[in-house]
Copies of this chain bind each other. A is one copy, B any other.
């Protein structure tokens, strides 16, 4: 399947892009490299995109498994290299889920299905560096 995106320079370091959904994403750089610090950095879009990708899988899988939860957060910690290009060399995702009756086995299964089978962003990044995960269940 072919997909396209179009990204336009908006002066200084600002760029706005759209892709198949038609929704916009604006990126900027910090003042130290000539930007206005008005929007996310390109490398941040990758890490946040990874969280959104696996987060949507987990929400959808838990719904199918009839697991109820109130809150879901994905905390990512990554190592970024000092030398050019400044790539991530290791990514650790922590899934934090809040609910009073969450079955750890079902949550684990949902996370593993996402990481091993559905999450496209994770599958691509994993070719480049390790993507690890842990989870934490919080009872209200």
With contacts A2-B77, A48-B5, A125-B124 known, is A40 near B59, CB below 8 A? Answer: no
Report chain B residues within 8 Å CB of A104. none
Do A85 and B118 have beta carbons less than 8 Å apart? Answer: yes
With contacts A45-B25, A45-B49 known, is A13 near B73, CB below 8 A? Answer: no
- A126: min CB distance to chain B, Å: 8
A80 within 8 A of B: yes
Q: How many copies does the complex hold?
A: 2
Interface size class of A (residues with CB under 8 A): 35 or more
B-facing residues in A5-38 (Cβ within 8 Å): 5-9, 13, 15, 17-21, 23-25, 27-30, 33-35, 37-38
A3 within 8 A of B: yes
The 8 Å CB contact of A21, one of B44, B55, B81, B120, is B44
4 nearest CB pairs, A to B = A17-B48, A45-B49, A7-B51, A42-B53
Report chain B residues within 8 Å CB of A28. 23
Do B76 and A5 have beta carbons less than 8 Å apart? Answer: yes
